[in-house]
Amino acid sequence: MNGLAKERLVSRGCKLVGCGSGVPSLQISNDDLAKWVDTNDEWISARTGIRNRRVIAGKDSLIGLAAEAARGALQMAQVDPDDVDLILMCTSTPEDLFGSASQIQKALGCKRHPLSYDITAACSGFLLGLVSAACHIRGGGFSNVLVIGADAISRYVDWSDRSSCILFGDGAGAVLLQACDVEEDGLFGFDLHSDGDGRRHLNAGIKEKEMDQKLGSNVSLIGFPPKNVTYSCLQMNGKEVFRFAVRTVPQSIEAALQKARLSSSNIDWLLLHQANQRIIDAVATRLEFPSERVISNVANYGNTSAASIPLALDEAVRSGQVEAGHLIAASGFGAGLTWASAIIRWG
C-alpha cells in the first residue's frame, strides 16, 4: 500500500449523528394473543418480558416503515436526502426477493441515485450494517450512510404455535453514520461471528410447493421443471437459542471492549438485541452491568429482529436517556447463527 492510500484510510472517522424509527399502527397485546392460542398475559410476560408487539397490517408496509425511520434519522442529523451516499437495508424479510433497499432510496427521493443494497443477517443485521457503513466511510470516501434495520417477522410466524408467536413483532429503526475527523470517530471496536452449524436451532427455510397437475402430466424429464418454492414458518428451539445468546454475547462484548481498549466501567449503556428480557437480564448480570444502565423496550415491541437495536436506540435518544458523548456497548444475535457486538459513541 502506498503512503497516500494509507493516509487516506486512517484520516477519516465516522460518527452517529441521527436516528429514527417506524412501527406499524396495529398493536397486539398478550390478551389479544390469548384469543388465538392457549396462553395468557402472565405466562408470556413472566417468560419473555413482552406485553405488546406491533404487526404490519392494512396499508402498512416494511418499505414504508423503513422510509419513515430513515426520514427521522435524516431530520435529526439535518441532512438532505440528496446528500446520502449509500443506503444499507438490513433485513431478512424484504418485500422483494431481489432486495428492498432501492425502494427506500426511491421513497426518500434521493435524486443522485446513491447505491442501495440489502444485508441479510437476521437479528445481527443492523450491527453488521453499522460496521459495513464504517468501512465504506473510512476506506471508500463516503460521507453520509443510512443504516436501516427493518423486519416483518410476523409474516413468517406460525400464529398457532404459542412457543414462538408470542415473541415477534414488526418495525424499523435507522441511523445516519457520517464521516468526521479521526479524533471524533465514534466506532471504537467490534466483534463479528457466524456459525452455520447453529442453523438447526433457528431458521425459516424454503419448501417446495405442489406442482400443477396439468403441467406435471407433460413432464418428461425427472426433476424438471423444478417446483416453485416458498418459505416455511419460522422454526426455533428456544432453549438452545437462549443458551447460545447467554454464552456468546458476553464473550463478544468483552472482545469488542478489548479491541476498543475500554472496560465495562467506561460504558454508559448496554444495548442488546431485544429478543427476550430474560436474555437481556442474564447477559447484563454476567457483564456486571446494573439494570439502570441497560436499555430495554422489549415489553412494548417484542423481538423485531434487525430493527430492535436501532428502534430501542431511537427511543432512548429521543427520551433523553442517551445523550451526546455517551458510550454504548451494543450486541445483536440470532439466526445464522450470527452474533455481533460494537462499542459506539452517540453523537
Active site members? 123, 273, 303
Buried b (16+ CB within 10 A) or exposed e, 40-68: eeeebeebbbbbbbbbbeeebbbbbbbbb
Residue 85, CB half-sphere, CA atoms under 13 Å: how many? 13
- Distance CA(173)–CA(149), nearest Å, equals 5
Our measurement of the distance from residue 55's CA atom to the centroid of its chain's CA atoms, rounded to an integer in Å, reads 16
CA distances in angstroms from 237 to 16, 25, 240, 242, listed in the order given: 35, 30, 6, 9
- What 3-state DSSP class applies to 97? coil
Cell (9 digits) for 38: 392457549
What does DSSP assign to residue 199?
A: G
Cell (9 digits) for 7: 493516509
- Distance CA(263)–CA(343), nearest Å, equals 10
Cell (9 digits) for 59: 396499508
DSSP calls for 206-244: EEEPPPPHHHHTT--STT-SPPPEEEPPPEE-HHHHHHH
